[in-house]
Structure 1
Amino acid sequence: MKAATAALRLAIVDDSQVVRLGLKALLTAERDITIVGEAGKVSEAVAMAARVRPDVMLLDIRLPDGTGFDVCRQILKDNPQIRVLFLTSVIDDKLINEAIHSGGQGYLLKEVGAEDLVQAVHDVAAGKSVLDPQATAQVLGLMRHRSAVAGNPVSSLSAQERRVLTLIAEGKTNKEVGNDLGLTEKTVKNYLANVFTKLDVTRRSQAVAMFVSAKE
């Protein structure tokens, strides 16, 4: 008999109790998602994350005692396996850039549809990067500007590194990329590490944005 898949453990951080209640009502309706904690402040979120260690944290940016970026940096320092998905009502170049650099795996606006939010939570848990369409446009703009100022580092990528990034841009995980290219997951990670060094980035989403921007 096949063992049941463990439910995805999700934590919610938002300063609005109404928003938290709405998200809990939506996400607890999913059989494979379990809400393991919630918080409305930076201090509460950091303590909660250390206590329950969720798979994914749904995180607002604006909090009474700081920002979601503060939370992201602090929790990933001790629990780097936690995936952070920013869910906010604000879209701004600087905020998107900081969300990526703080270690976030995704950035969505609160106008996102219910099905898309649920899918995004699962995608982030699987190691994929998720960006709201509006945020994607902003990131591409930032990366185009960076490339124009610093030249085009994408041209330094090898053919295999480009193939890896092409599949990553399609939303595939390292394991899926490895299966498609006949590589081990560890080898894919090594290729990505080289890509990060060449492009001077630290996140998959940054590398993909620069790669896609250079192709346009």
Structure 2
Amino acid sequence: MISVLLADDQHLVRAGFRSLLRRDKEIQVVGEASTGDEAVRTAAAVRPDVILMDIRMPGMDGIAATRTILESGLPTRVIILTTFETDEYVFAALAAGASGFLTKEIGPDGLRQAVRVVAAGDALLSPSVTRRVVGQFAHRPVAGPPGGDRLTVLTDREREVVRLVAAGLSNSEIARELVISPLTAKTHITRAIAKLGVRDRVQLVILAFEDGLAGPLS
């Protein structure tokens, strides 16, 4: 059973997501919060597998709440809820440790699949979204230790795969580019994530930009 916490200051939004998620017998909504502070307290109490986190909430916003929750060591993954076209804070949310983001216009099947993907340990960053996110992210300052020597733990092949991940390619596209199987591409990504000590594919992309392996997209 996948446990989910809903954090949004709009009651109708929470009710809608709750109704959609409850149609999946393997997903259980275990808590709700209407502010960032409440999300932090509730997360500590119920220890959900996944949090659907709004960014703009009274008091502590979703970015600060995400950072606080993840820095506490909870084995929780956060999906940011945003209006992607206008929300300038989504990039900071990813840097805070979120495993991906959704727009509030997402359909029922997409919402349930997103929860499953993130609960399984993957990042919710589709190739098309990756291209938009990293294209914007590359022009924004991101907090992190300077220097590019963190990537020296990777093999040449793993570095190449990480570079392609940061360029927004899917596993299948990486496989075609490098003439390997999609499973092999996924294995390289998994090993790179483990070696670098990052949470998921999103954080791998961020590190690639921080350490100069990837640059602004054309």
Give the TM-score taking structure 2 as reference length. 0.71
1:41 equivalent in structure 2:
35
Moved more, 114-123 or 160-169: 160-169
Alignment of 1:47-126 (within 5 A): 47-92=41-86, 94-126=88-120
- Is 1:170 aligned to 2:170, yes or no? yes
Q: Which runs of 5+ in 1 are unaligned?
A: 1-6, 147-151, 197-201
1:130 equivalent in structure 2:
124
1:16 equivalent in structure 2:
10
Report Cα offsets for 1:53-82 as digits up to 9, x if no partner: 000000100111121011101111113421
Q: Which amino acid aligns with 1:45?
A: A
Moved more, 11-20 or 81-90: 81-90
Moved more, 32-41 or 93-102: 93-102
Report Cα offsets for 1:23-71 as digits up to 9, x if no partner: 1000011011011111101121111000000000001001111210111
CA separation of 1:163 and 1:133: change in aligned 2, threshold 3 A? closer
State how far apart, in whole Å, the 2-side matches of 1:127 and 1:34 are. Answer: 18
2:184 equivalent in structure 1:
180
CA separation of 1:131 and 1:189: change in aligned 2, threshold 3 A? closer
State how far apart, in whole Å, the 2-side matches of 1:86 and 1:185 are. Answer: 23
Q: Which amino acid aligns with 1:180?
A: T
State how far apart, in whole Å, the 1-side matches of 2:90 and 2:186 are. Answer: 34
Give the TM-score taking structure 1 as reference length. 0.71
Cα RMSD, aligned residues only? 3.9
| Secondary structure, aligned partner of 1:12 | strand
Q: Is the 8 A contact 2:84 2:90 kept in 1?
A: no
Percent identity at matched positions? 32
Q: Which amino acid aligns with 1:102?
A: A
CA separation of 1:74 and 1:144: change in aligned 2, threshold 3 A? closer
| Secondary structure, aligned partner of 2:121 | coil
CA separation of 1:129 and 1:189: change in aligned 2, threshold 3 A? closer
Q: Is the 8 A contact 2:193 2:204 kept in 1?
A: no
State how far apart, in whole Å, the 1-side matches of 2:81 and 2:186 are. Answer: 36
CA separation of 1:160 and 1:171: change in aligned 2, threshold 3 A? closer
State how far apart, in whole Å, the 1-side matches of 2:195 and 2:28 are. Answer: 34
Moved more, 17-26 or 123-132: 123-132
CA separation of 1:114 and 1:132: change in aligned 2, threshold 3 A? farther
State how far apart, in whole Å, the 1-side matches of 2:215 and 2:69 are. Answer: 31
1:204 equivalent in structure 2:
204
CA separation of 1:159 and 1:116: change in aligned 2, threshold 3 A? same
State how far apart, in whole Å, the 1-side matches of 2:93 and 2:125 are. Answer: 11
1 or 2, which has the higher helix percentage?
A: 1
Q: CA deviation at 1:118?
A: 1.2
Moved more, 12-21 or 110-119: 110-119
CA separation of 1:159 and 1:131: change in aligned 2, threshold 3 A? closer
CA separation of 1:85 and 1:27: change in aligned 2, threshold 3 A? same
CA separation of 1:43 and 1:136: change in aligned 2, threshold 3 A? same
State how far apart, in whole Å, the 2-side matches of 1:171 and 1:18 are. Answer: 37
